[in-house]
Amino acid sequence: MPREKIIAALYGLGATALLALLIVAGSRNLTHFDAALIAYTFATIFATFGIIYRYAMWLQRPPTWLYFQQGWRVFLRPGLLLRNVMVLGQRLGREFAANGFIWKRGRARWAAHWFIMWGCLMAVGITFPLVFGWVHFETLPGNTEWYRAYLFGFPGFAFPIESFFGFLLFHGLVWASILVIIGVAVALRRRVRDHGAAAVQQFGEDFLPLILLFAISVTGLMLTVSYTWMKGYAYDFLAILHAITVIFTLLWLPFGKFFHIFQRPAQLGVSFYKDLAERSTPAACRRCGTPFLSQMAVRDLIVVEQQLGFDYRVTDKDVEHYQWICPQCRRALFGLAQGRAWQSDNGGNPQIGGS
């Protein structure tokens, strides 16, 4: 087995073992763990292994690893750390919370991403702690009208069961489902009406994720409808159907389009690297003298190409490497090389179709 696969597998096993320990510890030795939810737990553990394994494989690629190392090195620089922390907070709000990077690509696409993202985050923040036994609720001694929340077995805040806060809290998954359904509807409308998106879309990459999210949300809402207004009619069937959709999505999570959810935050590190590159000394083209990339970016690119087995060194000692040539000169050199090759093929005669 290749070394990178062994490393990725070890990281995956370590992450699953850590999650299992947290489940046991957070539920107070499984005291608050609901055995009826064990299928969800095992699906989550499998998804954790798959996500960490794939992420570790992706991280070991030379370009990704270079950006990862340099991004952290730039972020943790003593002279820039305070500024970087402030910038990170701004970017988390603008790019992550508000999805600003999607807004630039269209309002419909932004709306779909924003509703789906926040609906999923709400659902994950509520479901996983409950499934793992990290959060549970108990009535107050001598007062059955109040609940107290417990986090990892430690008592937290108390609230009236029939209060507005209790209504919002206990229906959190309903609000999450509504957000996801709105986002899925906007995304499907765009994919049906936008001919540019329709030309490149694939079922497994573009429609299946939306179908799964819609199925989870609708079956979850149907459970609420069943026990709230229909006296539990068909609740068992709906619970099994909902479990199938959730478990299938968790098992598919590491292999499909949803994996980009875990890759996207790495863009924050890349942004700090780009910020420093813009402030660094520019690299002057060693053919025409025009500044283009930063010297840091050029050196890093040369290192990555060498790691990937590409050798673009040149015989000219003043140039040393092809990456020290600006894009405009590269195009010019390409044209000159084509001209020399054409003349060689025509016996040095520059005329086309000459007698």
In a domain? residue 37: no
Q: What sign for the dihedral angle of Cα 203, 205, 207, 209? A: positive
> What are the angstrom distances between the C-alpha of 166 and each of 149, 159, 220, 227?
11, 7, 19, 17
In which band, very low, low, confident or very high, does the pLDDT at 348 lie, cut at 50, 70 and 90?
A: low
pLDDT-derived band at 352 (thresholds 50, 70, 90) equals very low
Element (H, E) at 79: none
Q: Indicate whether 47 belongs to any domain.
A: no
Count of Cβ atoms closer than 10 Å to residue 90 Cβ: 9
Cα dihedral 174, 180, 185, 186 sign: positive
Q: List the structure tokens of 351.
A: 């005329």
What is the structure's pLDDT at 354? 44
In this model, does residue 79 exceed pLDDT 90? no
According to the model, what pLDDT value does residue 350 have? 54
Closest to 331 in 3D by CA, of 281, 290, 298: 290
Amino acid identity, residue 323?
Answer: Q
Are the C-beta atoms of 47 and 251 separated by less than 8 Å?
Answer: yes
Residues 114-134: tens digit of each pLDDT: 999 999 999 999 999 999 999
Please indicate whether residue 176 or residue 334 has the higher confidence score (pLDDT).
Answer: 176
Tens digit of pLDDT for each residue in 165-195?
999 999 999 999 999 999 999 999 988 887 7
pLDDT at residue 349, rounded to an integer: 58
Distance, CA of 77 to CA of 279 (rounded, Å):
14
User: What percent of the residues of the chain are helix, what percent strand, and what percent coil, each to the nearest 5?
Assistant: 70, 10, 20
Other CB atoms within 10 Å distance of the CB of residue 16: 19
Q: What is the mean pLDDT of the chain?
A: 89
Q: Does residue 108 sit within a domain? A: no
d(C-alpha 262, C-alpha 248), whole Å: 19
User: Is pLDDT of 198 > 80?
Assistant: no
Q: Is residue 322 part of a domain?
A: yes
Which DSSP string corresponds to 181-218? HHHHHHHHHHHHH-HHHHHH--IIIIIHHHHHHHHHHH
Beta bridge partners of 136: 150
Task: Give the residue ranges of DSSP H helices in 253-321.
Answer: 260-263, 266-279, 295-307
Residues of the chain above pLDDT 90, percent: 57
Q: How many domains does the chain fold into?
A: 1
What's the confidence (pLDDT) of residue 11?
Answer: 96
Q: What is the pLDDT of residue 152?
A: 92
Any long-range contacts for 288-295 (C-beta under 8 Å, 24+ apart)? 288/326, 288/328, 288/329, 290/326, 290/328, 290/329, 292/326, 292/327
Mean pLDDT across the stretch 153-176? 93
Q: What's the domain range around 302?
A: 281-345
pLDDT in tens, 213-241: 999 999 999 999 998 999 899 999 999 99
